[in-house]
Homo-oligomer: A and B are copies of this chain.
Amino acid sequence: MSPLNPLDPLHPFKTLKVVGRFVRRQVKRSGSAPGTLVHTGEKKMEATRIRFLDYDDEALREEEVPDLSTVLPLRDSATVSWINFDGLHDLDLIGSVGEHFGLHPLVLEDLVHVGQRPKEEEYEGYDYVVLPMLTWDEEGGMVRDEQLSLILGPRWILTFQERVGDVFEPVRERLRAAKGRIRSRGTDYLAYALMDAVVDRYFEVLERVGDRTEELELEVLDDPTPDSMAKLHHLKRELVVLRRSVWPVRDVLNGLLRAESAMIQDETRVFLRDVYDHTVQIIETVEALRDVVSGAIDLYLSNVSNRTNEVMKVLTIMASIFIPLTFMAGIYGMNFTHMPELAVPWAYPALWVAMLLVAGSMVAWFRRKGWL
Contacts and interface: CB of A to CB of B under 8 A. Distances in A.
Contact of A296 (B180, B233, B314): B233
A207 B320 contact: no
A335 B314 CA distance: 31
A97 interface: no
Interface string A85-124: 0000000000000000000111000100000110101010
A323 B9 CA distance: 42
A197 B22 contact: no
Interface stretch (A24-32, A41-49, A152-160): A24-32
B30 A203 contact: yes
A323 B318 contact: yes
Interface in A295-325: 295-309, 311-316, 318-320, 322-325
A5 to B, nearest CB: 7
Interface in A319-357: 319-320, 322-327, 329-339, 341-348, 351
B34 A274 contact: yes
Contacts of A302: 226, 229, 297, 300-301, 304
Interface in A232-263: 233, 236-237, 240-241, 244
Contacts of A291: 236-237, 240
A217 B7 contact: yes
A283 to B, nearest CB: 10
A237 B160 CA distance: 40
A182 interface: yes
Interface in A142-190: 169-170, 173-174, 179-182
A194 interface: no
Contacts of A341: 336
Pick the most buried of A19, A117, A173, A314: most chain B CB atoms within 10 A of its CB. A19
A314 B180 CA distance: 69
B295 A233 contact: yes
Secondary structure call for the A interface: helix
Given A22-B281, A34-B271, A182-B33, A332 B325 contact: no
B292 A200 contact: no
A56 interface: no
Contacts of A342: 335-337
A155 B175 CA distance: 39
A174 to B, nearest CB: 5
A18 B342 CA distance: 69
A237 to B, nearest CB: 6
A214 B16 contact: yes
B24 A207 contact: yes
24 contacts: A5-B221, A7-B214, A7-B218, A7-B221, A9-B218, A19-B211, A23-B207, A31-B200, A106-B270, A117-B284, A119-B277, A237-B292, A240-B292, A244-B288, A297-B298, A302-B304, A311-B313, A318-B319, A326-B327, A329-B333, A332-B335, A337-B345, A338-B344, A339-B348
